[in-house]
Amino acid sequence: MNDLLTSLGRLGFTQYEARAYTALLQSPRITGYQLSKRSGIPQSKIYEVLDKLTQKELIVSVQDGGFAQYIPLDPRDAVSRYRAEYALALDLVDTELAHLYANDHEGAAYVLNLVGSESVLARARLMIRKAEKRIHLSLWPNVLSQLQSELTEAEARGVAIAMCVYGHAVARIGAVYEHAVDEGVAKNQGGQRVVLAIDKSEVLVAHFSDSREATGHWSKNMGFVEMAVDYIRHDIFGVRMVEDFGPLIVEKYGPSRELLRDPFARTYPVPSDADG
């Protein structure tokens, strides 16, 4: 019941209105005095509340023996009406706010910081649902499973998807490239990194760790976006090169490709972690 009252509050009901309405649904055709007792609303307030519910077209009153009795209308009709009204309002707000939002905000340099896996995943899902043309994505299988529904829907509406998965892909959506995972990969990332870019217009870079809370950073900054797309594309280039030239790469760079992974290996002695 508490969840229902909270939801009614989100639809614009006051606490008294929500309590009176739900009590009346359970005990229809009662007087204001009786409803006051059942709902715990003071008698001094109950008729004001009933007037508000009548104005909302949720209840009607009838006269019986000189006393007004209150009857709730079918709540399914009310829900349908609210759904239509909110859909209209949201469509208008969506259009008008987009006009008010200045065009120069599209290249804004700010970064939105996200904390917690739920916040990070919610932002990723929103981005995927917004994608119109392309999705570039680098992630791990457990995160892929949590974004699978949105990615499947995006592919169904014609969005091109290129995805690099660290390990075994739990879903084949779009062009999928499986990146081999070894100790070097896990060490380099320090956990599980997720990079998502849509339409070359938005980017999310997130980090999931067993020891710390997940964090993420979202932006529309074009330099940030293009860097993320290049990062994902180079990951995919690496997977394709290993698939096509695996033995030669192992011969030249080592079984774990450690000489390829270390940018200092060509000229300088390999620095220790303490050297930075």
CATH number at residue 40: 1.10.10.10
Does 268 lie in the same domain as 202?
yes
CATH of the domain at 263: 3.30.870.10
Q: Is residue 192 part of a domain?
A: yes
CA–CA dist 99, 65 (Å, integer): 57
User: For position 137, what pLDDT does the model report?
Assistant: 95
pLDDT band at 25 (very low <50, low <70, confident <90, very high): very high
The distance from CA 83 to its chain's CA centroid, rounded to whole angstroms, is 22
Q: pLDDT-based confidence at 263, cuts 50/70/90?
A: low
Residue 85 belongs to a domain:
no
Question: Which of residues 59, 75, 91 is at a domain's end?
Answer: 75
> 181 and 63 in one domain?
no
Whether residue 143 lies inside any domain: the answer is: yes
Task: Indicate whether 268 pLDDT > 70.
Answer: no
Range of the domain at 46: 2-75
Find the mean pLDDT for residues 71-91.
89
Predicted confidence at residue 264, as pLDDT, reads: 67
- Distance between CA atoms of 197 and 127, rounded to whole angstroms? 8
Pairing of strands 160-166, 175-179: parallel
Average pLDDT of 96-123?
A: 76
Of 16, 3, 10, 11, whose CA–CA distance to 51 is shortest?
16
Residue closest to 208 by CA, chosen among 230, 226, 232, 191 = 191
Q: On the CB side of 126, how many CA atoms lie within 13 Å of its CA? A: 10
Query: By the 8 A CB rule, do 9 and 18 touch?
Result: yes
Q: Does residue 83 belong to any structural domain of this protein?
A: no
pLDDT value, residue 261: 65
Q: How many domains does the chain have?
A: 2
Q: Is residue 84 part of a domain?
A: no
Do 113 and 231 sit in the same domain of this protein?
yes
pLDDT for residue 124 is more than 80: yes
In a domain, 97, yes or no: no
Q: What are phi and psi of 164, to 5 degrees?
A: -105, 120
pLDDT at res. 47: 95
pTM to 2 decimals? 0.61
Cα–Cα distance for residue pair 209/142, rounded to 1 Å: 12
89: its two tokens: 């309002």
Residues 59 and 115 in one domain: no
Strand order in the sheet with 59-64: 30-31, 67-72, 59-64
Ordered DSSP codes for the chain: -HHHHHHHHHTT--HHHHHHHHHHHHS-SEEHHHHHHHHT--HHHHHHHHHHHHHTTSEEEEEETTEEEEEEPPHHHHHHHHHHHHHHHHHHHHHHHHHHS-GGGGG---EEEEESHHHHHHHHHHHHHH-SSEEEEEE-HHHHHHHHHHHHHHHHTT-EEEEEEES--SS--SEEEEEP--HHHHHHHTSEEEEEEETTTEEEEEEE-SSS--EEEEE--HHHHHHHHHHHHHHHHHHHHHHHHHHHHHHHH-TT-HHHH-TTTTTSPPPPGGG-
